[in-house]
Every structure is written in structure tokens, then in C-alpha cells.
Amino acid sequence: MSAQIISGKEVSAQVRECLKKDVEQMKLKDPNFSPGLVVLQVGDRDDSNLYISMKLKAAKEIGINATHMRLPKTATEDEVLHSIKEVNENSSVHGLIVQLPLDSVHKIDTEKVTNAVAPEKDVDGLTSINAGKLSRGDLGDCFIPCTPNGCMELIKQTGVSVAGKRAVVIGRSKIVGAPMHDLLLWSHATVTTCHSKTADLPGEVGKADILVVGIGKAEMVKGEWIKKGAVVIDCGINHIPDASRPSGKRVVGDVHYASAKEQAGFITPVPGGVGPMTVAMLMANTVLSAKRFLESHQPGKWNISYSNLNLQRPVPSDIVISRSCVPKPIDHLAKEVGLLSDEVELFGTTKAKVRLNIVQRLQAQPDGKYVVVTGITPTPLGEGKSTTTIGLVQAMGAHMKLNVFACVRQPSQGPTFGIKGGAAGGGYSQVIPMEEFNLHLTGDIHAITAANNLVAAAIDARMFHESTQSDKALYNRLVPLSGGERKFSPIQINRLKKLGIEKTDPSSLTEEEVTRFSRLDIDPSSVTWQRVLDTNDRFLRKITIGQSPTEKGYTREAQFDITVASEIMAVLALTTSLQDMRQRLAKMVVATSRSGQPITTEDLGVSGALTVLMKDAIKPNLMQTLEGNPVFVHAGPFANIAHGNSSILADKIALKLVGPEGYVVTEAGFGADIGMEKFFNIKCRYSGLRPHVVVLVATVRALKMHGGGPTVTAGMPLPKEYIDENLELLEKGCSNMKKQIENAQHFGVPVVVAVNAFKTDTEAELDLVCSVAKAAGAFDAVRCTHWAEGGAGAVALGQAVQRASEAPSSFKFLYDLELPIADKIRTIARKIYGADDIELLPEAQLKVELYTKQGFGNLPVCMAKTHLSLSHEADKKGVPTGFVLPIRDIRASTGAGFLFPLVGTMPTIPGLPTRPCFYDIDLDPETEQVNGLF
């Protein structure tokens, strides 16, 4: 009786159908996901091309995104290894096959190349790591080579149990024989491996209940060798002469099929047996790899380790504490929170940038809970919002075991070397390394400085050239001859379209169109764009530019701002994508023409170059807390004249990474009347995000000041009123906290008051603040000791935030964008500051009319006022009443997307004090440690 034929075509078709359903299920969970496969080929062998086309066809049928990466015959070993490294780091690829043989004119070590494939992407199962795991019996933790895997599937189809059977494998290659031996062995067969040197091969074959042949010799195994009823799997592919075929040859296996099928119980044909199964198993391994990837990279599924703090008393300086903790390698932290290797750009070992391709990967995932940290009206010393932000994150992560991310601003170097110090938090609630945090970080502020000053240079250069050239000369220089013809750049085409000129041939413009295109006709007195520097330099507050003889007398007054006051910084913080940033940078208005038209950076032709300078700065910076929690440090807009919040992009990415049960804690600059109001009315409008909780930071010290305590001056000892218990002074000052709670409630979000405790605060004082806060409508109020105790000192706060995030809320904006500009300003002044009304001074009234006429009237409002009082007068503490808020001017940040009314006078570049911080800062040349930094 002839053997039953085991059809590889039929079985592989069944396997492919199952795989197709698996891929469909993956796409149901994540529509953006597809298993990815790369087939890397060196050279152009016809047989390799045939095999690759079969693989690509099968992949397409199943739904696998397969790519054929072909390198030329001239490719060197290094070039092949480089290509493999690129694929290894590509998170959209889950399987990588190196098509053998490598058809190169250079000598290439095949073993080295195959072992260069990442084991988790080695769907051929050829790396030493996968082979080692297979030989050890770790079948669930490796990839099984495709041909042996296919053979096992074919044996399974016969219904014959492998366990306890005697199996013989002929051939010991790494691709078939050796892994086949291991598979059969771990399936509990008794296995003998035979080869060309085996004595009495027919006798060994005759003992086999299961025979697998992969020796590479045509029809070597004869039928009479085979045990009656055995399962015969023929892996051979050989060509023998056959005059009856048009090609003069035919394909046969390693087994003499005609005689073997009379002896065997089951047998595979050649072709049509093992061959189709090899391709099917390759696809199965690719789908398996994709499943493993999805399982190990589920958003919100963190496997994070935390660092233990070695608390010291008294609490050492910030920098001593920072150096006492060894940061985790930043690539390790990135992996812990679900970032992929190709989504992270390392800057040394303690900081990294996160690429924006992660936004696309995670877009279908639900967000976590969103918490904003703000404060009461502070003293000049600050009340610890940054410290509370970090302490809260450490508590919720390291102690409450929740997924939690901090998102904070990058500090300016002006305060770092000036008087204020850094913004990394303090005590045992810091971002580390604090030197990196407070200095250059990854160069974002330098990129903004360069971009901002490029605009400033472009403005003055354009005014100079327009004033010294005729229309024709100006046009010929703007559209120069190149290769005998003139051609508009894409950015110039944009300007033509803005002017309503639908032409692309420079020679076709009329004289009138040439003039309109060439002349921006900027009114020098209308230039609002200033140069910037990230240094406190008071002597740049008012300067004269253009004094060189080469500028031919075209001088004008100008000024410098500090870099973080640049509109480009505000754009960075509010942008949602690279494309959005390009559009925002293009919309920035820098001046007005003499005819009253707004002049933008796109008109200047510089917006594309700005985007190039900012292409890396847009990527959020990843750092960590002392206890090992992830922190995004990104953007640092001035909180006085800009919105004073870290970036939308950092918040959005963090909200995806923490998962629906996790938390993102972001900080708003200054008191709730400034940073929080701008967070809600500006940042939340552009992000579309809705916060769950407001954390309002209060201190006994600041509340005593608002109750009428003596002046608090940075660098001077605190008066005794702030050190001794004084409940009367404190209770009176709680009016400011109650007003800031009310301000948060205007937006419909629950408020948790965090009382940042100092060692001089008494129990009675802390209890009083908490009870007043709750009576004023706070969801909860808790004392915190995170500065001295790290996350352990903010666990009660974390628990209160967790409860508040589940409470009902009804978020709403304070005003409608369609309101007139003055009404939006009035709404903020009355509801948030407690003013009776506003007064628009003449310059401000003119700007209201100008911006309304120019189409900017529907932008949100970003108030620029002192942070030291709810009113416009810094010395008015508590809750001032009965005042009219004077608006002296209004300016437009049209790229960032807001108008900023100026309340009173404030410098946009600070000055250095008599004794700046830099007196204490130095570098140890031996250890390269920064000394004297806080």
C-alpha cells in the first residue's frame, strides 16, 4: 500500500489563512500597526530573486509589510552590517532575513552577518543566540528555523505522536539538520543524527519511525532502507538531468520518491512538500515576532525600577544630593517607560531626545490623567512648585507604584548665573543630573537664540537693501540668474500667492507686480522683533544698531530680550507637530508696512530656515528624578509675557506613555492668576487636552506675607514673623489662597492644596492652612515634606490627587475667543485678578484697533503683569480690591497664537545683581565636576 502524501501546499495554505486572521486581529487593536519584514539581499542571483519573490508574495497575502532591501554586488561586509544595524533599530520591522548566499565581489563572513541580526528579529532562527536557546530547549523564547519548523508542522499533520518514537535525521547543517535534531529531541523522540561519515547508513535509516532527510544528495535514500510505515520528510531540492523536460532537468529530493512511497506510511513530495512550509513558517515567525513586540510594548505597561534615597539630616545642598544618586542609564529608563530604540536620540548617558514618530505610533492609545501644578501668589523666593511637581511624581511612582511622568520647563541660563538659581526642584525632589538640567541640556535654547537672531538680521538687512536699491535691482537680486535663468524658490511662490499673483515665471511679472513682490516697505518704527541672548545683561535693554559706516547711516534704536522671551520659544511650547511648527513660524509678525500690512517671517523668506534650525529642538528631552521617575524637560517660555508652560508635545507624548491608569504632572509658571490661567485659556485650547486636577502649592511663609508680613527679599534673612508662630497673620494672608482656589474653580477643575512645609512651620499653622483651604472649596488640602523626604513626603498629596482625578469635573474656558479684545482682557482682570475694570491707555487702544483690523482679534489673551501680586502693583499683597487695571500696550505673538497686553512696565531681559551666582561656579579640571551650582 502506497504512503499517504503530506501536501505542503495544503498545510501551508491553512497556516497562511490563520496568520491572515492573526494580522487582522492586530489591526483591530491598533489600525496603524502592521507586522514588518525586511529581506536583505546582496547581489542579484536569479535563484535568490525567485525565493525572495515567493516570500514577498506570501507576506502581501497575509498582510505583512515586506520590504526587499537590495545591496549591490560591490557591497562590503561593513556596508552589509550597517544595513542590518539600521533594520535592527527600526521599530516598524519585526523580522529580518539575510538572503543567502551573499553574492558579493568582496569576502563577507556569513556567520558574522547572520549573527548581526537582532535575536528578536531573527525570524530565520539562524543567530547563535536563537540556536543556543533551541538546543537548550527554550522553545518558547526563541525563533525556530523555518524549514525544521515546517517539518514539525507536516509531521503533526500525520497524527503520529513524536513522543517515544525513534527519529533519524540525515544531515547536520545549521539550517536544517542540527535544529531538526533539537526539535525532535525536545518533542521527546529518541534522535539519531546521521551524515556522510555515518557507518551503515541504511541500517540506521531502517530503525527510524520518523525520517527527516536534508543531506543535499539527489535520491540518496532508497525505498528499501525505510522502515515500513515510517513518516518520511524530504527536505532536499536537487536538479537531475531529464531529457523529457524542456529545461533538460527536473527537481528531486534526497529520497528516491517512487520506491520510498511504497514503504513509508507518510511521505512529502518534492516539490510541493517542505518548500511551501518553509515560506509559511517564515511568515509565522514574523507574525509571532510582531505579537511579541505588541505584548512587550503595550502603552502603560511599565516595568520600571526606582532608586532608594539615602536621606541625610540636615538636608545637604541640592548639588550634593544630586550627586549622591546615580542616575539610571537614560536608554534603560526609555525602555522601561515604553519608548523604542529608534524613538530615542541619546545625549550622553543621562539625557535623550524623543523623536516625534512616537506620536503616530501611539495615537490610537487612550490618555492618562492630566494634573497641573500651580501656586498662590509667591514671595520673591518662590514657594516650591517645581519641587512639589517632582515630589508628587516621585510619590505616585516610586511609592504608590503608578505610571507617572513629570513635564517641566527648561530653565534659562540667565537666572542660573544671575540670582534665582535653577529650576530642577530642590532637596530630595529634583531632576538629575541638575548640572545638565540647568545648563545647556541638549541645546534647545541655543537653537532658539540662533533662529530668533536670524529673523532680526533678516529684518534689518531687508530694510537696508530696499532703501539702497531700485525696484529692478532689488528684484534681480532676490531672484538671481542661475544657469542662465531666474527661478522663484518655494517660499517666494508662497509670497506671490499671498499677494494674489498666480505666476511662477519670474520674467512674466509686470512692473507693478515686481514692486509689490520685492518691497516689504517695513516701517522701521513698527519693528517689534528684538534680538535675544540667554544672559542677564541690563545694558542690552536699549541699544542703537547700524552704526558701522557700511550701513550708510541707517541706524535705529533696538533692544535685546532674554531668549526665553522670544516668540519662537512660545511657538515651541505650543506646537503640536513639525508641520504645525513650520506654519506657526511662518505666521510670526515682525513689523508693519507703511501701508499698515503685517509683515511675517514668511514674507521675509526666512521661515523655512527657522524650521531647519528648530528641527531638533522640537523633540522633548527625557531626564529622570532622584528616585528614577521619567521627566520631560521641554521649552521654557517666559511666564510674564508668554504663557509660562512646558510643551504641548511633551504632555501629549507622556499622556500616551503612562496609559489610561497613569498620570502626567505638568507645571505652570508663577501663581495661579498667571501660569494656571494661561495653561487653561491658551495651552489647553491649542492642545485639546482637558486637565483632571489642579494642585495649588501654598506655604506658610507666603501666606504670612499676604497677611501683612514684612518684605521678603532674596538673599536676606527672613524676618522673625516668618519663623515664629503667628496664626493671626497667617489667617489674614489665607485670603490669597482662597482667591487662587476660586480662580481654579472658574475652570471647573477640582483643586488639591499642597502645603509645602518648612522646618519653621508649626503644627497649628499647617493645620490652619489645610482647614481654611478645605472650607474655601478645595477638594483636599495636605501638608507635604518632599523637600526633606523625597517622594515619601508627598504620598498623602499623591493619594489626594488620585482621588480628585476620579471626582466629577466640568472643564470650561474663561472666555469665548470671539469676544472683542478688550472684553477678553476685562474678563481676566475682573474674574482672576479681582479688578473693578480695565483702562486701555492710548497705545493699547491703537493696538486693539490695529490687530482687529489685521484679523488677529480672535486670538486668546496672554497677560503680561507682575507675578508678585494679584494686581498690577507688586507691593499690593493679599487680595487687592477697588483697582482699575491699566493696559499700557498690547503686542501680538501671531505665530504662537496669542496677544499679550502689557500691564505696567517690566524688563524683558533681567540684569545681573551686584553679586551674581557665577561668583560661586567653577569647574574642577581633574574630575570635570561643576562646583558651586546651588
DSSP class per residue in 835-846: -SEEEE-HHHHH
Is the pLDDT score of 911 beyond 90?
no
Q: Which cell goes with 120? A: 528578536
pTM of the model: 0.86
pLDDT attached to residue 85: 94
Q: Are strands 425-426 and 485-486 parallel, antiparallel or unpaired?
A: unpaired
Residues 6+ apart with CB under 8 A from 57: none
Mean pLDDT of 684-688: 97
Q: Which of 239, 240, 233 is nearest to 278 (CA)?
A: 233
697, 383 Cβ separation under 8 angstroms: yes
pLDDT attached to residue 1: 66
Burial class (CB in 10 A: 0-12, 13-18, 19+), 595: exposed
Residue range 551-567, pLDDT digits in tens: 888 999 999 999 999 99
Residue 3 CA to residue 228 CA, distance in Å, equals 10
Residue range 811-822, pLDDT digits in tens: 999 999 999 999
Coil/strand/helix, residue 241 = strand
Mean pLDDT of 120-136: 95
pLDDT attached to residue 421: 55
pLDDT attached to residue 698: 97
Residue 422 pLDDT class (50, 70, 90 cuts): low
Residue 259 CA to residue 265 CA, distance in Å, equals 12
Residue range 690-745, pLDDT digits in tens: 999 999 999 999 999 999 988 888 767 888 888 999 999 999 999 999 999 999 99
Q: Which of 403, 384, 389, 374 is nearest to 431 (CA)?
A: 389
Domain boundaries, the chain: 4-289, 318-442+616-806, 445-614, 821-902
pLDDT attached to residue 381: 82
Residue 536 pLDDT class (50, 70, 90 cuts): confident
Is the pLDDT score of 934 beyond 70?
no
Per-residue H/E/C for 345-406:
EEECCCEEEECCHHHHHHCCCCCCEEEEEEECCCCCCCCCHHHHHHHHHHHHHHHCCCCEEE
Q: Which cell goes with 106? A: 568582496
Query: How does 407-435 read in b/e, with b if 16+ C-beta sit within 10 Å?
Result: bbbbbbbbbbbbbbbbbbbbbbbbbbbbb
Is the pLDDT score of 672 beyond 90?
yes
Residues 6+ apart with CB under 8 A from 152: 144, 162, 183, 184, 187
Q: Which cell goes with 287? A: 507574525
Burial class (CB in 10 A: 0-12, 13-18, 19+), 50: exposed
Residue 205 pLDDT class (50, 70, 90 cuts): very high
Residue 518 CA to residue 475 CA, distance in Å, equals 6
pLDDT attached to residue 198: 94
Q: Which of 657, 669, 649 is nearest to 444 (CA)?
A: 649
User: Which CATH fold would you assign to the domain 318-442+616-806?
Assistant: Rossmann fold (3.40.50)
pLDDT attached to residue 750: 97
- Which one of 20, 27, 29, 55 is the catalytic residue? 55
Residue 245 pLDDT class (50, 70, 90 cuts): confident
Mean pLDDT of 134-161: 94
Mean pLDDT of 391-402: 97
Coil/strand/helix, residue 432 = strand
Residue 29 pLDDT class (50, 70, 90 cuts): confident
Q: Which cell goes with 362? A: 501611539
- Residue 619 a catalytic site member: no
Residue 910 pLDDT class (50, 70, 90 cuts): confident
Owner of C-alpha cell 508627598 = 794
Q: Which cell goes with 456? A: 532680526
Same fold, 4-289 and 821-902: no
Q: Which cell goes with 311? A: 536621606
Packing angle, helices 727-745 and 763-775, rounded to 10: 30
Residues 6+ apart with CB under 8 A from 440: 413, 446
User: Which CATH fold would you assign to the domain 4-289?
Assistant: Rossmann fold (3.40.50)
Return the percentage of the chain with pLDDT > 90, whole number.
Answer: 83
User: Which CATH fold would you assign to the domain 821-902?
Assistant: Formyltetrahydrofolate synthetase; domain 3 (3.10.410)
User: Which CATH fold would you assign to the domain 445-614?
Assistant: Domain 2, N(10)-formyltetrahydrofolate synthetase (3.30.1510)
Is the pLDDT score of 913 beyond 80?
no
Mean pLDDT of 275-292: 95
Burial class (CB in 10 A: 0-12, 13-18, 19+), 794: buried
- H or E segment and range at residue 84: helix 77-88
Provide the mean pLDDT of the chain: 93
Residue 420 pLDDT class (50, 70, 90 cuts): low
Q: Which cell goes with 519? A: 518691497
Return the percentage of the chain with pLDDT > 70, whole number.
Answer: 99
CA dihedral 389, 395, 397, 399 (to 10 degrees): 170
